[in-house]
Structures are given as structure tokens and as C-alpha cells.
Amino acid sequence: MTNSHYRWVIVAAGGLLGCVAIGGMFSLPVFLQPMARETGWSVTGISSAMTIGFLAMAFTSMIWGTLSDRFGPLPVVLTGSVVLAASLALASFAPSLLVFQFVFGVMVGGATAAIFAPMMACVTGWFDTHRSLAVSLVSAGMGMAPMTMSPLAAWLVSNHDWRTSMLIVAAVVAGLMIPVSLLVRRPPALQVAQSAAPGNGEPEMSLAQALRSPQFIILIATNFFCCATHSGPIIHTVSYAITCGIPMIAAVTIYSVEGLAGMGGRLAFGLLGDRFGAKRVLTLALLAQAFGALGYVFVRELAAFYAVAAAFGFIYAGTMPLYSVLVRENFPLRMMGTVIGGTAMAGSLGMATGPLAGGLIYDTFASYTWLYVGSFAMGLGAFLIIMTFRPVPAVARPEPVPA
């Protein structure tokens, strides 16, 4: 059943849902400077809406994941799609910074979390072979956001005020995500796993044991530091490029180059993960990511931004799907949503550090240098933590009884 052709429909649906959801939330970095000019709100204040959004993602990821384990992914992603579109529309009418921070941060962030963990858990359950490639393709779809939604947001805000632009983004989110979410199905392998006898190769552990295991703790710690590494560079690179004298439209293309390279990284690391093992590939990628973040310290011209963005995007994007693969390899299928939701929670907390830290650093020093130096330090931390990971011992399958 897991070899059904429909599993690729699940991959395509997950990629599109992720692309539009992430694109809707990550339209804020594109709107950052125009919003500050039009409203008088501080860069730190607007950026903090992203921080609140990532915190909302963190605190809702495990909830959405657990709901998808219990009720299936379809009602979860459908609910998230409706709430995301509605909250983006409401944010476009925000009369004050405080209201904007609440609506965009809490509502948009919480709704976006309904897509990632449930879809990653769903896809891992549909695939026994090519699992790293499958989750990498879903992640690659999410990586399409900088090449699709971000240029759309930049074009809109160059021709309209930010409120109208955000309202149009909300309409795009609703028009694409709600119909596509209806294609999502619970993996058939889940029924097999639930009805199978003990000793079927799945780790025999309760959810409480899983959440207390060293494997889970190491994965969430690694993902926190990993996401803290690339959060600041992702959120503030467009703004950083503008401060270097690069025009808005050109600055957004840096983000697009990073996204395009990230697609290649997701696919390449997915194939490498299938061949050499997800843990080995992730370890090397985390070390490379740290140095990629540091590279931004030394760039000022558009060509140099392109070079660093391509390398950094290829590396950091390639790391992200491998966490879900490691979860599937070490924990029972019946709790995929909850455990992947837990790693997503840690990642969202890591992502929450970048917007606020970058805004504070820029407002204090009128420079982003220390943001990238700090990202480098976080990247080294992620590398050192994943080095301690040891897989959950495999459960031996019972020997067949001779006739």
C-alpha cells in the first residue's frame, strides 16, 4: 500500500501547502521597510511579530501534531489553511503595532504550525523507501516560497500600500491552500502499524518514554541551535542588503537565490541521506551551515550577496528534512505527529531568536555584523550537539516458526 502512486500526490500537496503557508508568513520580511516607513513603527517592533509568530508555532506544533495523530492530517491542515488566510487578512487591517503583533504573530504563526508537523509526519508514513527524498521534496516545496511568494509580495508592495498587499496575499493563501488540503490522506501504513503485533520492527515505547529519550532531547536541542543559526540571516538579509545600498527589488532577488539554492540542497541532501544515512549527512551539513552564516559578514555588493546566499541556502535548507527522517527511523509511526511536532517546536523557538535579535542589533549598532557572528556560534553549537546522537536500538523481528 505504501508503494501506491497516491503517495506522490501527498508529496505534491505537502510541498504546495508548505510553500504557500511559509510564503504567507515570510512575506513580512519583504514588507518590513515599507511598513516602517508608512506607519512609523520601529523595525524591532515589526520584526518582533515574526518572533511572536515563531513562538506561536513552537507552542502549537506538538498540539497540531498530536491532533493529526488522533484525527488524521486532513482536518488539521484544512483548519490551519482557513485560519492562516483569515489571520493574514485581519493583520492587513491592524490599527496599531500591538494589534498587528498579536494577529500576525499569534494567529499566523499558530496556523502555519498546522501544516509542517502534520504533513511531515504524514509523508514519512507513506514511504518505506526513498523516505529522505520524499520529505526533501516536501521541504523543497516549502523552499519555493522565496521564489514565488516573496517576489509576489515585493511586486505588490512596490505597486500598492502594505495593507492592500497583505490582503491580496491572504486571498492567494485561501485560494490555493484550502482546495489542496482536501487531497491529504492518512498513511495506510498507520493502520498496519496499529494492528501489527509487537516485534514488527517498530521501537516499543510509550509516548512518555519517547519524549524523555536522549534521542528526542538531542534532536530538539540540535534543531533549536540549527534554526537559531539561520533565522537571523533569513529574516534580515533583505533589510541588510538594502542598508548596503541595494534597491528593494534587487535585494529580494537575493532571497530568491537563497531559496533556489535551497531547493537544490533539499534534493541533494535527501538523496545523500538515503545513501549515506540521515545522521551522517546532517552532522556535516550543520558544520558547513555555521561557516555559511559567517560569510555574510564579508559581503556588501550584490554579486557577493548572491554567492553567499546560494551557498548558505543550499546548506541550511538541506538540513531541515533530515530531522523528520531521523524521527521516523527512531520512533513509532503512531506518534510521528507528536514527535515531529516536538522537533518543530524547538526549531520554531530557534527561529524566534533571529527576528528580534536582528532588530535589536541593527537598532543598537546600525549594523548587522554581530547578528551573523552570533549565528556562526549557534551553528557550531548545533554541530557539537548532533555529534552525541545515538540511534534507538532496532527491535529485532521475530523469527518465523518452522512448519
Domains of the chain listed by start with CATH number? 6-187+208-386 (1.20.1250.20)
pLDDT digits (tens, 9 = 90+) for 249-280: 888 888 778 878 888 888 888 888 888 888 99
Residue 108 to residue 103: CA distance in whole angstroms: 7
Residue 403 has pLDDT above 60, yes or no: no
pLDDT on residue 201: 54
Q: 10 Å Cβ neighbour count for 208?
A: 8
Task: Report residue 167's pLDDT band, with 50, 70 and 90 as the boundaries.
Answer: very high
Residue 398 to residue 201: CA distance in whole angstroms: 9
CA quadruple 225, 231, 234, 238: dihedral sign: negative
Residues in CB range of 393: below 8 A, 6 or more apart:
none
Least confident of 87-91, 236-240, 303-307, 384-388: 236-240
pLDDT on residue 396: 40
DSSP characters over 79-120: HHHHHHHHHHHHHTT-SSHHHHIIIIIIIIHHHHHHHHHHHH
C-alpha triplet 131, 199, 399: angle, nearest 5°: 105
Mean pLDDT of 351-356: 79
pLDDT on residue 2: 46
Kindly report the pTM of this predicted structure: 0.76
Mean pLDDT of 216-227: 95
Residue 24 has pLDDT above 50, yes or no: yes
pLDDT on residue 190: 67
C-alpha triplet 163, 239, 153: angle, nearest 5°: 35
Residue 342 to residue 359: CA distance in whole angstroms: 27
Helices (H) and strands (E) in the chain, counts: 17, 0
pLDDT on residue 399: 42
3-state secondary structure of 137: helix
Q: Which residue has the cell 548572491?
A: 306
pLDDT on residue 402: 45
pLDDT digits (tens, 9 = 90+) for 104-133: 999 999 999 999 889 988 888 888 777 778
Distances (CA, A) of 303 to 73, 143, 366: 43, 22, 23
pLDDT digits (tens, 9 = 90+) for 367-391: 888 999 999 999 999 999 999 999 8
Mean pLDDT of 8-12: 90
Residue 353 has pLDDT above 90, yes or no: no
Rg over alpha carbons for the chain, rounded to the nearest Å, is 20
